Structure 1
Amino acid sequence: MDKISRLPDELLVKILSFLPTKVAVSTSILSKQWDFLWMWLPKLDYSTRKYSESECVRLRCFLNRNLPLHRAPVIESFRLDFLASQFKPMTIRSWLLTAVSRNLLEVEISHAYTKKVLNILPSSLYTCKSLASLKLNGMRTLVDVPRMVSLPCLKNLWLEGVKYKNEDSLQRLISNCPVLEDLFLNGCKGDNMVKFIVIVPSLQRLTVIIPEDIDEFVIDTPSLKYFKIDYCNYKRHHCLIEYMPKLEEAYVEVSFDDIYIERFIKPITSVKRLTLCIELYGGDGFVFNQLEHLQLCTCDEYKSDEIVVRLLKDSPNLRVLDLFKMKCHDTIGGLYRWNQPSTVPECILSSLQTFKCSGYLGTRGERDLVIYILKNANQLKTATILFPTVDMKKELTLSSRASNACQLVFD
């Protein structure tokens, strides 16, 4: 202990920063030298998920008394993970207000479900010049964005299960983050998200989960590299998605009227890796020149074969094809039929190297598709079939293969 105590305070604080905040604070009882070292910690992480009521009271008193005395010139991260009923909104807001005044870089607020709307965010949070990451995860946190917003350094924004003060709050917040790179939005029923408008030139990652119908949907993100969307809306509404020339990976699960298919598919045709679950696919005029890896959900057994054929035709450089069913889909899935195209798609003849059929059900359509791939894929190296029947194993093993190097794998 004496050797450690001889170390400079800066190094001791560095050591303490690797410990859970509660443990680091407890070191204050070791000696007078350690009494206030924790007050220089750049990262503060408090979780009360397993706290008793008395422990929550002690933590509240501790933070009320000591957080204003915190000495670190910069708080790198401030995290609160708690049950919403344990602390009053005014108490949480006061803690955040103190953290913001210390050149706060990252803040994360997580809390469990509550029927009350919590207005816990101070207005100064929306004008914090140093803030680089903001994560709000918890039902009914109120996002009340003031008219004056300035977040010049915010790069990461995560909003899950929050409630917006009005329909303009979300757009006002996003439009005042000039260097935003990563945006995660998970909507919930009654959150006041009437319009979804994201026009951010700097954005590189976008995750959107919208369970409810909205009236307007606009995405203009020319720098986007990763795009994930889970969206269902069968009513007529304004929908505009601009082309994403730098897109590398996309996860698209959408359900809507067929008039919107082109508006969702055409903007992502530059993608290299695509996971897709879609009810309809027009395919006219779409060309996925860069697409190398395709995961296609076959939960609709009556339309999947049409979508497979069209995508194969539109993806001349495809190297990996994986047919699967998303875990959250409770339909039987699989290919009910396989109507092979009149001409073999270019990717099957020249580029397809890996084929995988996950959750193989042994339907006639699946069997015919696998045989078709084996028979025509000249460059195929591996064909993997998961959970085949004994009879299907025999039939597929005896089927002809265009590629002598192809290995047929059963898992």
Structure 2
Amino acid sequence: MGNRKDMISNLPDYLLHDILSLLPTRDAVATSVLSKRWKYLWTDLSVFNFENDLPIVSMEEDQVYCLLDQVHRLLHHSNYVKSLGVMSFGVAIDEDRVNSLISAVVKHQIEELKLSLLVNQFVLPNCFSAFESLTELHLELGCVLDVPSGIRFPSLKTFKLSRVTFANDKSVQQLFSGCLVLQELTLFNCNWSKIEQTSITTPALKILTIFSDLRVNMMRSTVRIDAVNLLYFSCTGYTLVNFLLVNTASIVDAHVEC
């Protein structure tokens, strides 16, 4: 047994990268302690997903911050990151920590970003406007989301927004008017209770999916959707929001069940 060769370590780097890409991110990084050959292999991976392994009921604030520190170290040492996912929805964290994470992500010019974090209140940082490489964004924040003027997503094509409460009518307009080439939009369990009347204008949008099972007391909000190239529209679940479609001649399939 002691004379058996280490066949895996003798594989070329590109095959080892394929093997590491199949592991959970924490396990892939942990292989750096195996030998000098393995020490920096993980830094050439391009897809990373961090998820807190603890059940939500047992999570504590310092454990969530430990997870964010690990992500920062990864971004500091990695050569190229194409896709990053960070999921820890059990404990509310400081808005500054989220902004710091996003600033680090922007510097890496990541193409796909998935953040599932619980924040008390969040103002979308202006650094997103410098995020020219971002094509896919998933945000689950569990907070009131405020969007300042000037926010732009110049290359964003797929956007999934979950469990946010829109701060006001203007925030909604500013968020989606900045998605210049957006083609697919999913709104999952978003809270429109602070919205009276607003509009979503996305000329390139082709697929719009809205789902909500939130049974909260809210005013009858009205959301006007202007998407001249929309092909598919789905609105299901429980909602008191009036979604009004305009310029709908392009639609070929629709599913409404509220």
Band of TM-score, shorter chain: 0.7 to 0.9
Task: Write the mapping of 1:262-277 to structure 2, written as runs, cut at 5 A.
Answer: none
Matching residue of 1:125? 128
Report the residue type matching 1:9 in the other structure.
Answer: D
**Structure 1 residues 249, 61: closer, same or farther in 2, change over 3 A?**
same
SS of match in other structure, 1:154: coil
SS of match in other structure, 2:240: strand
Deviation of 1:145 after TM superposition, in Å, equals 2.4
SS of match in other structure, 2:250: coil
**Structure 1 residues 34, 147: closer, same or farther in 2, change over 3 A?**
same
Match of 2:44 among 36, 40, 45: 40
Match of 2:156 among 151, 154, 157: 154
Task: Write the mapping of 1:368-379 to structure 2, written as runs, cut at 5 A.
Answer: none
Partner Cα distance (2:194, 2:132) in 1: 27
Deviation of 1:19 after TM superposition, in Å, equals 1.6
User: Given that residues 141 and 162 in structure 2 are in contact (C-alpha distance below 8 angstroms), is that contact kept between their aligned partners in structure 1?
Assistant: yes
Across the two proteins, how many residue pairs are aligned to each other?
244
Task: Write the mapping of 1:361-372 to structure 2, written as runs, cut at 5 A.
Answer: none
Deviation of 1:227 after TM superposition, in Å, equals 0.6
Partner Cα distance (1:187, 1:119) in 2: 17
RMSD over aligned CA atoms reads 2.9
User: Given that residues 220 and 240 in structure 2 are in contact (C-alpha distance below 8 angstroms), is that contact kept between their aligned partners in structure 1?
Assistant: no
Deviation of 1:101 after TM superposition, in Å, equals 0.9
Partner Cα distance (2:39, 2:172) in 1: 43
Deviation of 1:11 after TM superposition, in Å, equals 3.8
Matching residue of 1:377? none
Partner Cα distance (1:59, 1:218) in 2: 39
Matching residue of 1:201? 203
SS of match in other structure, 2:7: helix
Matching residue of 2:184? 182
Task: Write the mapping of 1:241-280 to structure 2, written as runs, cut at 5 A.
Answer: 241-254=245-258
Partner Cα distance (2:45, 2:9) in 1: 17
**Structure 1 residues 191, 139: closer, same or farther in 2, change over 3 A?**
farther
Task: Write the mapping of 1:301-320 to structure 2, written as runs, cut at 5 A.
Answer: none
Task: Write the mapping of 1:14-163 to structure 2, written as runs, cut at 5 A.
Answer: 14-50=18-54, 53=60, 56=64, 58-64=66-72, 66-73=73-80, 75-85=81-91, 87-111=93-117, 117-119=120-122, 121-140=124-143, 142-163=144-165
Report the residue type matching 1:181 in the other structure.
Answer: Q
Report the structure number with the largest CA radius of gyration. 1
User: Given that residues 67 and 95 in structure 1 are in contact (C-alpha distance below 8 angstroms), is that contact kept between their aligned partners in structure 2?
Assistant: no
Match of 2:223 among 200, 217, 221: 217
User: Given that residues 172 and 200 in structure 2 are in contact (C-alpha distance below 8 angstroms), is that contact kept between their aligned partners in structure 1?
Assistant: no
Partner Cα distance (2:181, 2:18) in 1: 30
**Structure 1 residues 60, 225: closer, same or farther in 2, change over 3 A?**
closer
Report the residue type matching 1:149 in the other structure.
Answer: I
SS of match in other structure, 1:168: helix
**TM-score for the superposition, normalised by structure 1:** 0.52
Task: Write the mapping of 1:2-17 to structure 2, written as runs, cut at 5 A.
Answer: 2-17=6-21
Deviation of 1:183 after TM superposition, in Å, equals 0.9
**Structure 1 residues 167, 84: closer, same or farther in 2, change over 3 A?**
farther
1:168-200 CA distance string (max 9 Å, x none)? 122112112221111112454565333341222
Task: Write the mapping of 1:368-407 to structure 2, written as runs, cut at 5 A.
Answer: none
User: Given that residues 200 and 221 in structure 1 are in contact (C-alpha distance below 8 angstroms), is that contact kept between their aligned partners in structure 2?
Assistant: yes
Q: Which runs of 5+ in 1 are unaligned?
A: 255-411
User: Given that residues 123 and 147 in structure 2 are in contact (C-alpha distance below 8 angstroms), is that contact kept between their aligned partners in structure 1?
Assistant: no
Report the residue type matching 2:127 in the other structure.
Answer: S
User: Given that residues 92 and 117 in structure 2 are in contact (C-alpha distance below 8 angstroms), is that contact kept between their aligned partners in structure 1?
Assistant: no
Percent of counterpart pairs with the same letter? 30
Deviation of 1:87 after TM superposition, in Å, equals 4.2
- Higher RCO (Cα < 8 Å, 6 or more apart): 2
Deviation of 1:135 after TM superposition, in Å, equals 1.1
**Structure 1 residues 121, 34: closer, same or farther in 2, change over 3 A?**
farther
User: Given that residues 166 and 191 in structure 2 are in contact (C-alpha distance below 8 angstroms), is that contact kept between their aligned partners in structure 1?
Assistant: no
Matching residue of 1:322? none
SS of match in other structure, 1:244: coil
Partner Cα distance (2:234, 2:154) in 1: 25
